[in-house]
A and B are shown apart, each in its own frame.
Chain A
Amino acid sequence: MEPTPANIESFVHGRIRAILAERGEAVPHLSGSDKLNATLGLTSLDLAFLVSDLEAELGVDPFAKLVSITSVRSVDDLVDAYRMAFIPHVGPGATNHLDAAAQRADLRRARRQNR
């Protein structure tokens, strides 16, 4: 399956589930608001592994320049970071409120399409 903004969520959720499964833990139903650390128990090294894995799978690394990894707290934050990497005009390059609003709309649209 080719990664697109609409299906990126399933890639990210799949890798999170794989990490939880590797630890022998019961894999819960993932919610976008789940906190990576507080809810799912992922460590910063788990997150590094996840990002490495997704870079190999998707061919993009949003944390190289676009997004700071420290801003990623929830599953949705992570999904949004990868969506930004796939939607060229979304990201810190947005220079005004209109651009920022357009970014948020794009992200909401992508999320809805995936549901």
Chain B
Amino acid sequence: MLTRGGGAAEPASAWGPGEMAETTLPVALVSGGSRGLGAALVTGFLARNFRVATCSRRDSEFTAEMSRARAADFHWAAVDGRDRDNLRLFVRQVADRFGRIDVLVNNAGVASEGVLPTMRTEDIAEVIEVNLTAAVILAQVAARVMLRQGSGCIINISSVNAIRGHAGVAAYSASKAALDGLTRSLARELGPRRIRVNSVAPGYFDSDMVHDMSDEQRQRIARRTPLGRLARIEEVANAVLFLASDEASFITGQTLVVDGGLTC
């Protein structure tokens, strides 16, 4: 079941379609915005005068603070990425509350490690369900809203693992490479209705996904990276914000790799 969190004041029934639709401020929907890159994207879009909706499995200090400080233009709901019906409901809830959806960022994802032959089947299924199927469903429902608007932008957060093979992340790589395929085909499908679709493929950046790495692993990655370090989270967010902006108005169907040159 979808629940609102973070101390937001109004009951769900108070969000009439007309209530917020009066404003012309654009709307960004970022999946997985409770922490990490998602939270950086929420912050970035709010700073650019977007109204922002995000969902995550659980709330966080960040979503609670945004719900208090930016109640009028921030929306959070608890949605499990494996719950297809609630993913659909969430997008419709956002469209009802804010009246439109200009940008969708498919950011929510789970990492999985371990060589494929010894991975549990349910862990493989979860990676595909959360990283790929949830993104497809969010894109499908958001695209309907964008079709009615006659404009929109979808950005899928991929990974350098989609581009280069790395041992121990086969299922994760498969899910991210599939997102890049989705990006290209969806760009062709929706382009005639002025909806752009792109991917951002980050390399290693400071996030929960690399917290488990040893210092030695981090140093090895830094040595292999032409720019000599891991990315700051804002550097990845900035690439997404660029693709979402009018500055990127003629870019669609592309994967922008943000990895300090790791894969060049």
Q: Which residues does A use to contact B, with CB under 8 Å?
A: 45, 48-49, 51-53, 55-56
Contact = CB atoms under 8 A, between A and B. Distances in A.
B92 to A, nearest CB: 9
- What is the interface of chain B mostly: helix, strand, loop, or mixed? helix
Contacts of A56: 148
Interface residues of B, number: 9
A53 B192 CA distance: 17
B189 A55 contact: no
A87 B55 CA distance: 34
Given A48-B144, A55-B144, 18 more contacts: A45-B147, A45-B189, A45-B190, A45-B192, A45-B193, A48-B143, A48-B147, A49-B147, A49-B148, A49-B193, A51-B144, A52-B144, A52-B145, A52-B147, A52-B148, A53-B147, A53-B148, A56-B148
Contact residues of A: prevailing secondary structure:
helix
Nearest to B17: A56
A55 B148 CA distance: 10
Nearest to A64: B88
Contacts of B190: 45
A55 B141 CA distance: 11
7 contacts: A45-B190, A48-B147, A49-B148, A52-B145, A52-B147, A52-B148, A53-B147
A68 to B, nearest CB: 15
B204 to A, nearest CB: 38
Interface in B203-252: none
A104 B189 CA distance: 34
Contacts of B192: 45
